[in-house]
Structure 1
């Protein structure tokens, strides 16, 4: 399609890549820029854009605008969290006059072929100006945020459970409001698209996650390491739940079966308290690693003990692209069209997951075959170029609708 002039808004910088959402946004931006689209990126970020961020993002963009986000414990943030009808996450990212003003200036600067708002929880600063100008926009959801409550609110102290349920209610109400105003809704999986369609009252498009298959093609897992890997962003509640569940319920059942098995935990925002709470020397705490493939090459398998989250898990896609034998819950494989027993061993109870880990480590040849099948599956079905084409189709649908309306 012909190059378009695009305005994207994000509630965080997409670089460095410390989460699946950032990986998705960075790779889509890179693909779209490579196709000639002119992109202005408006970001509200809790961290400033340093030289490395500018060096990486500027070549992809016509303009990068980064505005600071209030600190989480700023008095205004706490005040809005207590008094706003918006859900907690939307108040943290909303009520930002400088961001709203800059967005209004961008709308006045000229014609945009498409305006894309990532996450309904980041929508509040843009709502008034979009309504005033009757400007069509796309809303992209990486998950159904109101359905993540079990991983987040379930850990609140008992006296606050009522407040937690109220915030979940506010989140669902906010999703309906935002999605119903959007000209197009984008989901990551067919399952999420069905839910978002019901909330927004219109069909949702699917722009699937992808993976840089060439970047992981050289990885050769090390079966002799006896090490099982997990990678996540621990500012995301479902990943916190996954690790805590694995360490309290799964691994105590693994070690009697495989005493020399090790569990390697990597990713951004690793809580310091875990090191004091889980002290078994067979647990390896690495935190954020700049080169994931190096860690994958020193691992025998990947464990995805995810119980919540929706969407499709980029960490799982990356493990499959690296041909790491995969042990996963059904939730961990959501949206990936993977076949149990062919591309992964799938189990949902601690006992069954422990048995699957033991089987994988005891049978390296069959595990290797499964890992290679997973790599082939991902290479054929999940690529960022394909995802970018899906997103371009959404842009095209808006242009077609505008021509019909005219």
Structure 2
């Protein structure tokens, strides 16, 4: 097959969730198929001459990500039916490239990576009745309307967050229509979890939906040969991402004081790029370290006395959960933090949803480290085995191949 990938950012280096998913999908498919890539680049970024993408892809072209001001976002929120995400990467240059490539190359499949790029399916939709058109696969990295709904109801609990809640309520309604439209137009949809699949089915489209979860590079994320856990609680993630911001603020305000009351020497490390200004309130806290971007998060995960995933909003399959489990780290998560990952409380990790229970689970792991680490070793062994069995990219790629075949079959029937 000849496949055209359109991605919201360069898939290499795979530094965060979307780029990891895109890179390993391209790498896996390139073994047996011819892959072309159209992508956006962040300002100042480029695809290096020695990038593996140059070997994996037959052809690559990139467009700089457009910039939108806050005023433009407010105006579009108030005046258009298109959700913010549908305008985030609106680029005439990318439209021209997509139309040019589709006109001059016969593709079997076009794969759109994320709802930010849904508008670039337009040339295919205009050829809906053309039997020679490519099949359209939409890879929905998150069920976005559900994510905004959760954001809205979380923020409504706090008066100071009501403006953000109002924004999410508006976006939720817009996204439900917009997401339904692209799901209905696609020949196949890829969801990252069974929960997301069910939410997309609720949109009523007859399109086949295949679950191909996020995966993990099992060689890159390996347990260290020896472990010397520190008295640290570690969270990793992109720190301008709203669910991550909510998670660390909730933990710092509601869980950490309970931990410090019994273990005053413990430190909470927030590890990840682009810390949001909302986190500035935590900077003066003597038990909290906000690292910003680091070259490699693995040393922090390896030495964590407890790795925490205190998510209260969000969706999809958590890369952070897979990374920590692959590294055999001792994990405490909310139920939502491991949604879409079929782990069991007390087997691969500890699960707690209320502040007191979450603090008790963290303290249990910290105390275990001082007593020889039997619980840490047991959870780590089972967590590592779990991701090896279910979340290596070799286990996931056949599900993507299934979606490509279903898309071609549906195209032929339409």
**Shared fold (TM-score, shorter chain, > 0.5):** yes
Contact 1:15–1:53 (Cα < 8 Å) also in 2: no
Q: For the structure 1 residues 262 and 243, does the alpha-carbon distance in structure 2 shift closer, same or farther, using more than 3 Å as the test?
A: same
SS at match of 2:122: helix
8 Å contact 2:267–2:289 — kept in the other structure? yes
Counterpart Cα distance in 1 of 2:70 and 2:263: 48
Matched, 1:115 2:98: no
Question: In structure 2, do the counterparts of structure 1 residues 361 and 178 end up closer, same or farther at CA, with 3 Å as the change threshold?
Answer: same
Q: Alpha carbons of 1:237 and 1:273: their partners in 2 closer, same or farther (altered >3 Å)?
A: closer
Secondary structure at the aligned position of 1:137 is classed as strand
Residue 372 of structure 1 and its aligned partner are, at CA, apart by 1.1
Partner of 1:169: 173
What residue in structure 1 maps to residue 60 of structure 2? 64
Between 1:161-170 and 1:250-259, the stretch displaced more is 161-170
2:127 corresponds, among 124, 133, 142, to 133
Aligned position for 2:3: 6
Match of 2:186 in 1: 182
Give the match for residue 335 of structure 1: 340
Contact 1:116 1:140 in 2 (8 A): yes
Q: Give aligned pairs, total.
A: 399
- Specify which of 268, 271, 287 is matched with residue 266 of structure 1: 271
Is the 8 Å Cα contact of residues 81 and 92 (structure 1) preserved in structure 2? no
* 8 Å Cα contact 1:48/1:66 also seen in 2: no
Q: Aligned in 2, Cα 1:230/1:382: closer, same or farther, shift over 3 Å?
A: same
Structure 1 segments, 4+ long, off by >6 Å, are 74-78
Structure (1/2) with the larger helix percentage: 1
The 2-side partners of 1:87 and 1:402 are apart by 28
Determine which of 345, 348, 356 is the counterpart of 1:351. 356
User: What's 2:380 paired with?
Assistant: 371
- The answer for the alignment partner of 2:395 in structure 1 is 386
Going from structure 1 to structure 2, the CA distance change for 1:398 and 1:88 (only over 3 Å counts) comes to closer
- 1:276-287 counterparts in 2 under 5 A? 276-287=281-292
Pick the aligned partner of 2:79 from 80, 83, 88: 83
- The change in CA–CA distance for 1:158 and 1:193 in structure 2 (over 3 A counts) is closer
> Following the alignment from structure 1 to structure 2, what is the Cα–Cα distance between the partners of residues 68 and 280?
38
The answer for unaligned runs of 5 or more in structure 1 is: none
1:100 aligns with 2:95: yes
Structure 1: distance between partners of 2:49 and 2:18: 16
User: How far apart are 1:37 and its partner, in Å?
Assistant: 1.9
The CA distance in 2 between the partners of 1:235 and 1:159, in whole Å, is 18
Deviations 1:193-232 (A, max 9, x none): 1111221512411111111112222425745411121111
Which of 9, 19, 23 matches 2:16? 19
Q: 1:75 to 1:150 in 2, by over 3 A?
A: closer
Distance 1:226 1:61 in 2: 45
CA distance in 1, matches of 2:37, 2:61: 6
Correspondence for 1:146: 145
Whole-Å separation in 1 of the counterparts to 2:401 and 2:286: 49
2:68 and 2:282 map into 1 onto residues whose CA distance is 26
The answer to whether the Cα contact below 8 Å between 2:187 and 2:408 also exists between their aligned partners in 1 is: no
SS at match of 1:7: strand
Distance 1:295 1:167 in 2: 35
**1:33-70, CA deviations, whole angstroms, 9 ceiling, x for partnerless residues?**
2x232111111333344254862422221112111222
Q: Could you tell me whether the CA contact under 8 Å between 2:246 and 2:311 is conserved in 1?
A: yes
Deviates more, 1:163-172 or 1:47-56: 47-56
SS for the counterpart of 2:189 is: strand
SS of the aligned residue for 1:123 comes to: helix
Whether contact under 8 Å (1:220, 1:297) holds in the other structure is: no
SS at match of 1:256: helix
1:241 partner SS = helix
Once the two structures are overlaid, the 10-residue window that deviates more, 318-327 or 70-79, is 70-79
Q: Which runs of 5+ in 2 are unaligned?
A: none
Q: SS at the partner of 2:177?
A: helix
Q: In the TM superposition, what is the alpha-carbon distance from 1:266 to its structure 2 partner? A: 0.9
3-state SS of paired residue (1:215): coil
Distance in 2 of aligned mates of 1:208 and 1:237: 21
The 1:101–1:80 alpha-carbon spacing in structure 2 relative to 1, beyond 3 Å, is farther
| Cα distance in structure 1, aligned partners of 2:178 and 2:235 | 33
For 1:249-264, what aligned pairs fall within 5 Å after superposition? 249-264=254-269
